[in-house]
Amino acid sequence: MADDQPPSRRYKSPSDLSRSPPSSSSSPSPTTRHARITATSTTHSSSSQPQRRRNPPYLPTPAELALLAIYPSLLTFGALFSLLSPETRNAPYDHARQAHVQDYALAPSYFARKDNLFNVVFVKRGWAWVTAAFWVFVLTHPTVKHNGRRLARAAVRWGVVTVWWVFVTQWFFGPAIIDRGFRWSGGKCEVVEEQVFGQGEGGVREVVTAAACRASGGSWRGGHDISGHVFLLVLGSFFLVQEVGWVVARRARRLREERCVVMPDGAVKGAGVVADRGERQEGEAVLTVMDALGLGGRLAAAVVGLCGWMLLMTAIYFHTWFEKVSQTRCLKKVSPVRETCANVTTRQLTGLLVALAGLYVTYILPRWIPAMREIVGLPGI
């Protein structure tokens, strides 16, 4: 038996045990291993962030709502200022002209005078300034000027908003909507009414406009007169905010795309899906906001800022809610003055709403009407 090989050792040292693979008895079964993997995957899935809820395509985005809230805030602040400021509250007010007395010594502020430089040069030619700022921007900004499709659609949007401005303030198959609304609400031109009734030409009074009334030496009485100043300043400024803001935000990558659109098959997707493919492949460097604005964007920003300032001045000094407080005195006077006092108190609100109606058609409606979006497009896309 001496030639027999010694039997193999049945025990291993601790170092050998540490190097050897675990025994089959200690290894988990395939079923257990699969359960662990499944549990881990489930835990990871449950801890992941929920999918971000899309904004309804038929409503403004949160960023747009925040910007739109500036307008009623300015009007409200202006109304409160006109009520609380002793200089404004005690200054004599001409209800017929819907402005403070224009005498230099009696006007509460330079901006309460209709002949102030900003009113004469800027507000009276407001749409020309808005149009100039828009075209300087689209013809100089590299994101728009080198893309014929974007440029054409931007021109269409400018045309839509301009037509709405013309319809409301200049001409609507005859008198403008402002003039028609005043007449439909019972208003009249006081001097012309007397002349018409005296001559027996009743049909003439149906075509009287605000401009013709002033030219004849008369004044509007009785009806609701939409605030043309509020309408123009809101329409023009937010038009520029839309056209410049989305382009700059995408260029500088400062704002996550919030707009959603309805696709032809009815699916709701982020507006980025309708962007040009070439743009998504550009990989341009991230710019600062000032660089992304460019020359045209800075001009547009200046026009928007001036619109906001003049909107505040309008709310403080022209056809203000202060007149509502003065109605106690108005009601003691003759009927035409009483009617004027009673109807100017909501001019700012209707001017704001009429402007927002045109903006909704131009910028929100195309998001959920694909056929319209093919024509007018979306700013920045």
Exactly one of 95, 100, 141, 229 is catalytic; which is it?
229
Looking at residue 313, its pLDDT comes to 92
Decide: pTM greater than 0.85: no
User: What average pLDDT does this structure show over 215-240?
Assistant: 81
Nearest-10 crossing angle of helices 228-252, 148-169: 170
The answer to whether 380 touches 246, Cβ cutoff 8 Å, is yes
Going by pLDDT thresholds of 50, 70 and 90, the confidence category of residue 250 is confident
Left (φ > 0), alpha (ψ -120 to 50) or beta: where does 357 sit? alpha
Which range is least confidently modeled, 72-86, 92-106, 214-228, 284-298? 214-228
Instruction: Give yes or no: 229 in active site.
Output: yes
CA–CA separation, 310 and 264 (whole Å): 42
pLDDT single digits (tens) 300-320 = 999 999 999 999 999 888 865
Which H or E element spans position 318?
Answer: none
What is the average pLDDT value for the chain, to the nearest integer? 76
Q: In the chain, what percentage of residues exceed pLDDT 70?
A: 66
Smallest CA-to-CA distance from 119 within 277, 307, 300 is with 307
Backbone phi, psi, residue 268, to 5°: -100, 120
pLDDT single digits (tens) 143-201 = 898 888 999 999 999 999 999 999 999 988 888 888 888 778 766 776 654 554 444 44
Tell me: pLDDT of 74 over 90. yes
CA–CA separation, 338 and 350 (whole Å): 20
CA-to-CA separations, 5 to 2, 11, 90, 364, in angstroms, rounded: 8, 17, 123, 93
Backbone phi, psi, residue 189, to 5°: -95, 115
- What residues have CB less than 8 Å from 319, skipping those under 6 apart? 98, 99, 225, 227, 344, 347, 348
Higher local confidence (pLDDT), 90 or 40: 90
Exactly one of 95, 141, 224, 319 is catalytic; which is it?
319
Looking at residue 200, its pLDDT comes to 47
pLDDT single digits (tens) 317-329 = 886 554 444 433 4
Exposure string of 224-260, with b = 16+ CB inside 10 Å and e = fewer, is bbbbbbbbbbbbbbbbbbbbbbbbbbbbbeeeebbbb
